[in-house]
Amino acid sequence: MAQGLQLAQRLTQSLVLSPQMQQSLALLQAPTLELKALVETELQQNPVLEEVAAPETDQSERAKTDDGEQVEAVDPTEPPADVTFDPATEKADPQTEEFLAEFEKLSQLDQEWRDHYASTNAPTRQSADEEEKRQFMFDSLVAGTSLQEVLLEQVRESGLPEDLRPIGEMLIGNIDDYGYLKANIDELSFSTNIPAVKIEEVLKVIQTFDPPGVGARDLRECLLLQLERAGDQESIEYKIIRDYMDALGKRRIPEIARGLGLEVDEVQEAIASIGRLEPRPGRAFLADNHQYILPEVFVNKVGDDFVVTTNNEQIPHLRISNTYKDLMAQSGNSSEVINYIREKIRAGKFLIKSLHQRQQTILNIAIEIVKRQREFMEKGVSLLKPMTMVQVAEAVGVHETTVSRAVSSKYMQTPQGIFEMKYFFTAGIQTASGEGLSNTSVKDMIAEMFKKEDTTKPLSDQEIVKMLQEKGIVIARRTVAKYRSELNILPSNLRKVY
């Protein structure tokens, strides 16, 4: 049979998310700061949308006369009275009639959104002084300087010969964010045809830069560079790192003491001094140090109850521009203009609805979390109860994947501090009394036990198991070992202080 290209048709069925549904899911999953960026993009792409400032929203929600008499609020989304189309006095265009019906629905939706905004946002509004302080804080933030920029500046000021500066820039380009040189000298020499001796010479210069220890190829060299910078080449600390790095990592203190001919107490003091050195010289320049958390939900205790509110201060409030409603009400527009504006209006209407639905979904989930974790809100982590997304989804009336998207990268400010919303969803351990206890609470209890242990006789995993059994918590030794590893606590033989 001859080989060749063939064209064939095949009919299949598959589930595909519509663009509107994809947009709605993206809005639900995005944190507040990302949400603002998404909305700003939509504002640029959709000319009929405009953002309403908070003061304007407040004025449109409620208006009073000078003598305090309540008057009817003006809906900013309704067309002006002088351009409203009246089918009883003029000949009605079917497209215009249909479009005005859509405006009627949109006006109702916008009013519901503003009512929701006013009711949920009122408890969290700040005074003028607090808002001024908050804005001053944001205006005072400056962009940090990267480690590479600091090192390049020091190269220019180091007096390094012009012919060696490109080598210095190449080496700095191979230093990671923690300050370590990640490239091998021989590999760099082979790829650049530069003698390894010359590269090593420039590296020695870079290792004299700030922060101390930068340009090291491993932890041992990093610590030695810091001690050399301090002039401690003859110290016990320097000898321990130079000759007994492996034993130090395994906490073999008696072995180090015998090798150096010192007392165990002297070695322990030197190790404590080593612990004060910086294992990651570039840590101060990491971008993660400049990340800020903006809570999506606030939980405040009012009397005996907990009041849950969403952070509507940062959510853009949108409406359809009156200019385009005026344009639609005018006669003589072509069908292309009407269809274009109609599509943009529908897209804007869906975006406004999606924003409202996002806030309501997050609020409903947060209320259910607080309802189930009331004891945690009052007393702390030790009383965190096991809870799954399926349980919350069933209570709220949504799918568990919706809960997962809604709590993704979202934070909740509680009386116990700020927590990621996913923090409250943990597996449970059955106690002797039949009650469920969160594994996070058990882990917190284990950490507290290790913190109070006698360092000369550290607790073993089996001893922790027995102590938990006395509290009515039955778990296996391997589970304790797993929790200890997650808490970054060494085994008992490595924690022992002689």
Question: What is the reported pLDDT for 37?
Answer: 84
Q: pLDDT grade, residue 201 (50/70/90)?
A: very high
Q: How confident is the model at residue 71 (pLDDT cuts 50, 70, 90)?
A: very low
Range from 67-81, 137-151, 178-192 that averages highest in pLDDT: 178-192
Q: What is the pLDDT of residue 134?
A: 62
Q: Tell me which of 135 and 394 has the higher pLDDT.
A: 394
Q: State the chain's mean pLDDT as an integer.
A: 79
pLDDT of residue 99: 56
**Chain position carrying tokens 């549904």:** 21
Instruction: State the pLDDT at residue 62.
Output: 34
- Calpha distance 64→270 (Å, rounded): 74
pLDDT band at 92 (very low <50, low <70, confident <90, very high): very low
pLDDT tens by residue, 447-498: 888 888 888 888 888 988 888 888 888 888 888 888 888 888 888 877 777 6
- pLDDT of 380 > 50? The answer is yes
pLDDT at 125 over 70: no
Q: Maximum Cα–Cα distance for the chain, whole Å?
A: 108
On whether the CB atoms of residues 70 and 46 are closer than 8 A, the answer is no
Confidence (pLDDT) at 26:
82
Phi and psi at residue 430, in whole multiples of 5°?
-80, 130
The per-residue pLDDT for 78 is 35
Average pLDDT over residues 87-101: 49
Q: Which CATH class is domain 429-495?
A: mainly alpha
The full set of domain ranges for the chain reads 19-60+91-123+292-425, 147-285, 429-495
How many helices and strands, by DSSP H and E, does the chain display?
Answer: 23, 10
Q: Are 340 and 328 in contact (CB under 8 A)?
A: no
Reduce the DSSP state of residue 335 to 3 states and report it.
Answer: helix
pLDDT at residue number 133:
67
Residues 6 or more apart whose Cβ sits within 8 Å of residue 198: 164, 167
Between 67 and 216, residue with greater pLDDT: 216
Q: Average of pLDDT values for 363-384?
A: 89
**Predicted local confidence at residue 87, as pLDDT:** 34
Does the pLDDT value for residue 4 go beyond 70? yes
- In this structure, are strands 436-438 and 428-430 parallel, antiparallel, or unpaired? antiparallel
Listed residue (471, 378, 384) closest to 425, CA to CA: 384
Q: Predicted confidence band at 327 (pLDDT cuts at 50, 70, 90)?
A: confident
| Contact criterion met (CB below 8 Å) for 440 and 381 | yes
Cβ atoms of residues 113 and 357 within 8 Å: no
Average pLDDT over residues 66-70: 35
Distance CA 46, CA 55 (A): 23
Mean pLDDT of 145-173: 88
Residues 62-66, mean pLDDT to the nearest whole number? 33
pLDDT in tens, 223-253: 999 999 989 899 999 999 999 998 888 888 8
Of 183-197, 321-335, 405-419, minimum mean pLDDT range: 321-335
- % of the chain exceeding 90 in pLDDT: 20
DSSP SS3 for 388: coil
